[in-house]
Amino acid sequence: MTHPPITATPRTSPATNTLDTEMLIVGAGLSGIGAARHLQAQSPHTRWTLVEARARLGGTWDLFRYPGVRSDSDMHTLGYAFKPWTERKAIADGPAILRYIQNTADETGITPQIQFGRKVQRADWSSAQCCWQVTLSLDNGSLEHVRTRFLYLCSGYYSYTQAHQPAFEGQSTFQGTWVHPQFWPQDLDYSGKRVVVIGSGATAATLVPAMAATAAHVTLLQRSPTYMVTRPAEDALALKLQRFLPERWAHHLTRWKNIGLGMYFFRLARRYPHKVKHHMIGLAAQQLGPEFDTAKHFTPRYNPWDQRVCLLPNGDLFEALRKQSASVVTDTIARITPTGMELSSGQHLDADVIVSATGLQLNALGDIVFTLDGQAFNPAQAMAYKGMMLSDLPNVFMAMGYTNASWTLKADLTANYVCRLLKHMQAHGYQQAVPRKDPQVQTQPYFDFSSGYVQRAAGLLPQQGDRKPWRVYQNYLADMLSLCWSRLEDGVLQLTGSDKAARSGRPVSRGEAD
């Protein structure tokens, strides 16, 4: 089906039931392309429009261009359930992932329907008209207004325009090059130069071995250690299955194998944290050798999976440390100097290039300003329903991934639920779906995670509840039960139709509803 470009609707337009689109998908990254593909296949009668603020699709995998950028989980689970991953490397680099997303969008004609250069600024709900009026800003500075029944937010949970950058004393005096990985200059030449990477997360662990290949030396400066685990870049079982089975069968078997292993090791870490911690540190010590101070540099202060575990394909970071093309220092920065940085211990690190891999800046609902009949909606005061809708926010879905597994696992389940709900609403003449919170449900943080980027955003993010359907499970099987096979009309999700449907007692046809 065709999806014509959005036409600008004046904000002062008279009350009408004419919609520009039924579903507005926000974001053309991994989640947004997946959402459009699911709608095509499972809800073909839903008119959708996909808008993207940037000039290209791909989201994270187009934005990040730093050396070595790659997935931090396997592509058999980070990829879509409906599209097999067939490349040799299961831990894939950024360009390969971007090709995969592009191919997914190209195969069924999604790419030409993406409307680029449109950033959603605000969304205003009208109960009388049972729709959202969405304001978008265009690259040329003009505004566009779109009327839609549903919003599907696939823009992730971090800002593309701002990153977390702590202020260091003396930073302005540094005479070398200072760069944040989120805004990597493509013309940066670090070959033969001394590089210091500040950070200890997945980005830092990726940058160090990639830059060490050509830099004079790379130093990883971390305030505290992170769990680092080696994993083969290629999945031997997946490659074997691909030789003997159809692509789709091989993909699904590998996917379920990796889902099962991931859930098993996560539960093991939660149940026996001290044993798992000792085992993981022991594995690092074996790869680094007895001369390396593993106790100081690779022994975290927290238990496994209190923060995300860093994946090292083929142990590339450990290899760089063994070859001494890279080193690690565990300390804090006292001040930045013209030629590097002075640490709290008194040590000075010389640097020509400083890479500040200090993390993301999270946001809520894509920084969109929401109002309900003129009243401001604060997502921090809302509670997440099944991890994909918010209490008292009608007809809005959000794609949110896991903290302990691949993002797309949850995004795929969410898309399946959205399609199932849309078909149910169309069949019964419902026009509005909104979860209503029970005041007896106790609130908890949305993410049960101690990572700095999560803690910094605690006042922005919605909350979860202490019982279903308000619990945000970090468990694929629990979410399958909740999103694929549970009752849609569960007494919490309030489904209502138009006034005409209420008066006549019959379902409203799609023509009447629109």
Give the model's confidence band at 514: pLDDT under 50 very low, under 70 low, under 90 confident, else very high.
very low
Give the model's confidence band at 498: pLDDT under 50 very low, under 70 low, under 90 confident, else very high.
low
Least reliable range by pLDDT among 259-268, 364-373, 386-395, 458-467: 458-467
The CB-side HSE value for 300 (13 A sphere, CA atoms) comes to: 26
Average pLDDT over residues 373-386: 95
Task: Tell me whether residue 122 is exposed, middle or buried, using C-beta atoms within 10 angstroms of its C-beta: 0 to 12, 13 to 18, 19 or more.
Answer: middle
Give the model's confidence band at 157: pLDDT under 50 very low, under 70 low, under 90 confident, else very high.
confident
How many CB atoms sit inside 10 A of residue 169's CB? 13
C-alpha span between 375 and 486 (Å, rounded): 32
Q: Which residues contact 140 (CB under 8 A, 6 or more apart)?
A: none
Residue 502 confidence (pLDDT) above 50: no
Structure confidence by residue, pLDDT tens digits, 335-346: 999 999 999 999
User: In this structure, which long-range contacts are made by residues 487-490, counting pairs with CB atoms below 8 Å and at least 24 apart in sequence?
Assistant: 488/420, 488/421, 488/424
Q: Which of 377, 419, 358, 454 is nearest to 158 (CA)?
A: 454
Residue 17 confidence (pLDDT) above 60: no
Q: Which residues contact 157 (CB under 8 A, 6 or more apart)?
A: 362, 363, 364, 400, 461
Structure confidence at residue 447 (pLDDT)? 77
Average pLDDT over residues 222-245: 95
Structure confidence at residue 458 (pLDDT)? 67
Which residue segments constitute the domains of the chain, with CATH numbers given? 21-160+362-513 (3.50.50.60), 165-239+272-358 (3.50.50.60)
In whole numbers, what is the pLDDT of the chain averaged over residues?
90
Residue 455 confidence (pLDDT) above 70: no
Average pLDDT over residues 82-105: 96
Specify the 3-state DSSP secondary structure of 97: helix
Q: Which residues contact 32 (CB under 8 A, 6 or more apart)?
A: 25, 26, 50, 52, 57, 59, 152, 154, 155, 399
Specify the 3-state DSSP secondary structure of 198: strand
Q: What are phi and psi of 41, to 5 degrees?
A: -80, -40
Copy the structure tokens of residue 184: 């990597």
Which stretches of 407-509 are DSSP H helices? 407-428, 452-456, 476-484, 499-504
C-alpha span between 78 and 97 (Å, rounded): 9
Is the distance from CB of 101 to CB of 78 less than 8 angstroms?
no
Residue 212 confidence (pLDDT) above 70: yes
C-alpha span between 385 and 151 (Å, rounded): 16
Give the model's confidence band at 16: pLDDT under 50 very low, under 70 low, under 90 confident, else very high.
very low
The CB-side HSE value for 290 (13 A sphere, CA atoms) comes to: 0
Structure confidence at residue 504 (pLDDT)? 31
